[in-house]
Amino acid sequence: MTKKNQSLLAYVKVQDAVDFAILMLKGQGVNKDDSVKVAECLVEADLRGVQTHGMSRLPIYVKRLSEGLINATPKMILDKPVAACASLDGDNGLGFLVGIRAIQEAIKMAETCGVGVVAAQNSNHFGMAATYLLQAVQAGYFAFVFTNAAKSMPPWGGREGLFGTSPFAAGAPGGKLPPFILDMSPAVAARGKIRLAEKRGEAIPEGYALDENGKPTTDPTAALRGVVLPIGGYKGSGLSMLMEILAGVFTGANFGGDVPDQYTVWDRPQNVGHFFMVLKPGVFVTEKGFRDRMDILVSRVKENPRAGGFDEIFMPGEIEARLEIERRQSGIPYAQSDILLLTELAREYNIAEMPYNVH
C-alpha cells in the first residue's frame, strides 16, 4: 500500500507520537483530556496517510496557542433553540475540540430526532474532517462534516482566492464490509499538499494551481502565492461555495475570504466555522436493513469489472483504513523534514524530543 518514497525516512511508534503531542499541548495550558483528544486526532491523520493534517501541523497550533491566538481553555457555549439544531460557540478553542463536541451533540440530537445539526463558530483549523465522520460512523450514524478555511481558491471565472479548499466530507456506516468515508477537497489538489511539496522541494503537477498572475504553474511556492483550481470547473467551485455557505454564512463565523491564514496572520484569531449534520439510518429503514443494504452496495462497488490499470476498487476511505492497520504495526513513517520540524519544536519549548527509528 505505501509507496516507496525517498523522503520517508523515520518511523515513529504510535504511542510515542501521541505522547509527544500531548506534552506539547499540555505545555501550552491545554488540559490533559483535551490534549489527549487533539493528539489522537493528529496521529489518526498520519495513520491514515493524510499527513498534511497530522503531526506536521502541531507546530502551528502550538505557536498560535503560545501567542494567545488560540484559547487553550475554551468554555464552549451550546445554544439549542429547537430540538434538532444547535449553534456552538467554540470560544476560540482548538478546532479539534470544537469538532469533537459538535459531532457528539449532533449525534445526541439525531438519536431522538432522527437528524441533528450543529453550526459551530469561533473555532480554528480542525484538522482531518474524516476524524469527525469516523466518530459518527462508528456509532452507527450518517454524517456530513464541512468547514470553511483561509481563502485559496477563486470562484469559477475568477483569479483571486475567495474560498478555502475545505473538505467535502460525508460518511455512512457499512455492515460487514467497509464503510463509506468520503473526505475530499473540491480542489484538484489541497493547499496542504502543495505546502508539503514546497517543504520537500518537489514540483507540483500542472493543473493544480495558477500563480499570482493567473497563469498555470508547477512551482509550489508560486502556487501558494496564487490560487488552486477546482475539480470539474464550475462544479467544484459550486461545492466550495456550498461549504462556505453552510460553514461560514450559516454559522456566524468569518466567511467570504475573512478567515485569516493561520500561517501568516498573527494579529487575530481565525474564527473558523464548521457545519455538522448527523442522520440516524434506523429512522428511515431499520438499522439492520440499512447495514445489509450498504453491504449489497459495497459488494457491487467492489465487484465492478475493472477499468484498465486498476487491480482493485476501493470504497472511499478504505485505503486509509488499511494504511492505519499497517501503520499501527510498523509505526508511522515521517519525512525527514517533518522530524526536523518536530525536533526543533521540542527544543524551542524545552520538551523531550519525539523518539524515532531510521530504517
Give the footprint of a second copy on residues 95-124 (CB under 8 A): 112-115, 117, 119
- Measured from the CB atom, the residue of 42 and 110 that comes closer to a second copy is 110
Does 178 bind a second copy (CB under 8 A)? Our answer is: no
Does 139 bind a second copy (CB under 8 A)? Our answer is: no
Contacts with 85 (C-beta within 8 Å, 6 or more apart), sequence order? 109, 116, 117, 118, 119
Pick the closest to residue 338 from 52, 124, 48 (CA basis). Answer: 52
Does 281 bind a second copy (CB under 8 A)? Our answer is: yes
CA–CA distances in Å: residue 80 to residues 75, 88, 116, 207, 290:
16, 9, 11, 44, 29
Q: How far is Cα 124 from Cα 102, in angstroms, rounded to an integer?
A: 13
- Measured from the CB atom, the residue of 111 and 219 that comes closer to a second copy is 111
Does 140 bind a second copy (CB under 8 A)? Our answer is: no
Q: How far is Cα 166 from Cα 160, in angstroms, rounded to an integer?
A: 16
Region binding a second copy by CB under 8 A among candidate stretches 4-12, 70-78, 275-283, 323-331: 275-283
Dihedrals phi, psi of 267, to nearest 5 degrees: -115, 5
Does 11 bind a second copy (CB under 8 A)? Our answer is: no
Does 236 bind a second copy (CB under 8 A)? Our answer is: yes
Region binding a second copy by CB under 8 A among candidate stretches 2-10, 160-168, 334-342, 345-353: 160-168
Among 9, 23, 36, 162, binds a second copy (CB under 8 A): 162
- Measured from the CB atom, the residue of 182 and 351 that comes closer to a second copy is 182
Q: For the CB of residue 31, give the shortest distance to a second copy in the complex, in Å.
A: 29
Region binding a second copy by CB under 8 A among candidate stretches 38-46, 166-174, 191-199, 261-269: 166-174
Q: For the CB of residue 106, give the shortest distance to a second copy in the complex, in Å.
A: 11
Q: How far is Cα 161 from Cα 154, in angstroms, rounded to an integer?
A: 4
Site string for a second copy, 43-72 (x = CB under 8 A): ------------------------------
Q: How far is Cα 67 from Cα 142, in angstroms, rounded to an integer?
A: 37
Dihedrals phi, psi of 149, to nearest 5 degrees: -165, 175
- Measured from the CB atom, the residue of 239 and 354 that comes closer to a second copy is 239
Site string for a second copy, 185-224 (x = CB under 8 A): -x-x---------------------x---x----------
Name residues contacting a second copy, limited to 241-270 (CB under 8 A). Answer: 241-242, 244-246, 248-252, 255-257
Among 75, 81, 264, 267, binds a second copy (CB under 8 A): 81
All three cell numbers of 353? 524530543
Number of residues that bind a second copy (CB under 8 A): 76
Looking only at the bridges linking them, the beta strands covering 115-123 and 85-89 are: parallel
Q: What is the residue whose three cell numbers read 478546532?
A: 95
CA–CA distances in Å: residue 66 to residues 63, 71, 73, 277:
5, 9, 12, 32
Q: How far is Cα 166 from Cα 164, in angstroms, rounded to an integer?
A: 5
Q: For the CB of residue 327, give the shortest distance to a second copy in the complex, in Å.
A: 21
Q: How far is Cα 259 from Cα 162, in angstroms, rounded to an integer?
A: 10
- The neighbour count for residue 335, using CB atoms within 10 Å, is 19
- Measured from the CB atom, the residue of 157 and 201 that comes closer to a second copy is 157
Q: For the CB of residue 19, give the shortest distance to a second copy in the complex, in Å.
A: 34
Q: What is the largest CA-CA distance in the chain?
A: 56
Q: How far is Cα 18 from Cα 345, in angstroms, rounded to an integer?
A: 15
